[in-house]
Amino acid sequence: MLLSRRQLHALSRDPAVLWRAVLITFGAFFLTALWAGVQRPPPQTPPGILDLRNQGIRKILQADPLDRAALLRELRADARRTALWQQHAETENDEGEDPGQLNLPRLLALSPLPASEQDAIVLWYAAIISGKVPPDLIPRMESLAMPGAPSLPRTMAADLQRLSLDYQRALASYEAAGAAPDGGEARRRAVDLALSRGWASEADRLLAQPAYYEAVHAVPDHLSEETARHQLDVRVLLRRTLAYSASVLHKTDFLLLSILTATVWFISLHKACRLPRRQWWLSLAGIPLGMFSTVVTLVLMDLQEARNGLSDSALAGPALLYQIAGVGLREEFSKLLCLLPLLWLLRKGSPAQALMAASCTGLGFALKENIMYYQSSDGSAVLGRYLTANFMHLAMTGLTGHALFRFLRYPKNFGPAFLATFCGMVMLHGFYNFSQGAYGGQLDHEISRLFPFIVGGLAWYYFQTIRQDQDRAPEALSAQAVFLLGTAVVMGTLLNFLVWENGWGMALEAFIPAVLSAAMLCWLFSHLLRDA
């Protein structure tokens, strides 16, 4: 016999029934993890650093026609990385994988380059790694002939002059090479030299010439980004950030994990707020707006930190200022800015709708941000960020958006309340990030004590706001049941992912500490959702 909505709701609030359902749900995922541990393919040894570098150089050499400028650009970057690693290994006794040096003569033999060019490139590459320029090498580069690319020998000679700390002469050589029709790489190097030396007027002079501006932005690399920051070029920064954001979404496994954690919060909050399902569409529209707010945040970061702006620090005082006036301010402002279209649609809506729409905008921000954190931690950060970052973003944006909604509806009564809420959330965001920093010694232990008070205090205030403005739609499943069952699904999915990727040994090493550290927060949210 089918249960009525009221009977099902009563069962979902029965602790014994609820926890039995949670254990059964996780048990089913545990059985699939056992299957995954047996069926997973044998682990493959990932390619080493040197193999990856060889592949990158070989791809350029085998292209038809050969792009000599791209080859030099890749070799220059590779030589710099190798030199930096060698310096680090000598001073820090690094035990990581040795990137080694490319067997450049063998690689160049794959290309149609004449022997004279191959020898010159090998010597030029070795000089950049060692930092030592033989006296006769610069004249040899200047006299080298490269058919089809007459500006490149002068560009290589300017690289060596720069390496010899003769910066003014190097800039003049870059500009002389950049005057040639094929001098795009020399123009890029001239701008790079001016920016790295802090010659703002020289950089502005060069970039005022269309040929230099086009050469810099023809290759979407770090130089293009630094130039856009220097010029405060919002159009270029936005285009680059959108491309980067799109590439993040291609990480399908971590994207699905992030969508799963966001879905559990989405349904749990709407159940707690008792909104009718026909009104959920507006909250759902907040998810992509929140995801786009990460793009706005990155552009604001570039603009805010350009030309000696705020930056992070290893010192506690400047770090706290950066987290509040830098990270907290731009992230909360970006989310609120992207919420505005929804507030216009909500002009005749209820406070509960506004609270949920604003919360889902923050949830969309967390959904996008989590993908990068999941990838960097190989999935071990899923549970932690599910209960911390997801909630912190949705709660802070939800409360700020709720205050803005009331201010727009009653501007004479709620202006100070909105300003106080926004400033409070910016400061809270900064303190939350600050509490997870590392500043050395006993200070780290003292600062880390802020974390539970920040999360717990915000959670209490947020769910009090939900209780104050919640609707009265009937619910078959309680918000607590949705959250706990959803958490069991998240845990089971994560266990299956870790087992499939790493096997049982490494999976349990990552999974068990994550579950133990998340237990207290899980209990807190379950308790608050039950009361709501």
Residue-wise pLDDT tens for the chain (532 aa)? 455 666 666 666 777 888 898 999 999 999 999 998 888 888 777 777 788 888 888 898 888 888 899 999 999 998 888 888 877 766 655 555 566 778 888 888 888 889 988 999 999 999 999 889 988 899 999 888 888 888 999 999 999 999 999 999 999 999 999 999 999 999 999 999 999 999 999 999 999 999 999 999 999 889 999 999 999 999 999 999 999 999 988 889 999 999 999 999 999 999 999 998 888 999 999 999 999 999 999 999 988 877 666 777 777 788 888 899 889 999 999 999 999 999 999 888 899 999 999 999 999 999 999 999 999 998 999 999 999 999 999 999 999 999 999 999 988 888 999 999 999 999 999 999 988 876 665 666 677 778 888 999 999 999 999 999 888 877 778 899 999 999 999 999 999 999 998 889 999 999 999 999 899 999 999 999 987 7
CA-based angle 475:479:484, to the nearest 5? Answer: 135
Query: Distance between CA atoms of 274 and 269, rounded to whole angstroms?
Result: 8
Query: Distance between CA atoms of 230 and 241, rounded to whole angstroms?
Result: 16
Report residue 181 as tokens.
């029709």
Query: Distance between CA atoms of 443 and 314, rounded to whole angstroms?
Result: 12
Query: Distance between CA atoms of 35 and 174, rounded to whole angstroms?
Result: 61
* Whether pTM exceeds 0.75: yes
CA atoms within 13 A on the CB side of 140: 15
242 contact partners, CB below 8 Å, separation of at least 6: 295
Residue type, 444: D
Residue with tokens 């150089």: 57
- Label residue 421 exposed, middle or buried (CB < 10 Å: 0-12, 13-18, 19+): buried
Instruction: Give the single-character DSSP code of 251.
Output: -
3-class state of residue 102 by DSSP: coil
Query: Distance between CA atoms of 96 and 483, rounded to whole angstroms?
Result: 42
Q: Distances from the Cα of 49 to the Cαs of 54, 55, 62, 145, in angstroms?
A: 9, 10, 20, 33
Please give the domain boundaries of the chain with CATH numbers for all domains. 1-33+480-513 (no CATH), 51-237 (1.25.40), 245-475 (no CATH)
Instruction: Give the single-character DSSP code of 278.
Output: G
Per the rule left: phi > 0, alpha: psi between -120 and 50, beta: everything else, 275 is: beta
What are the counts of helices (DSSP H) followed by strands (DSSP E) for the chain?
25, 0
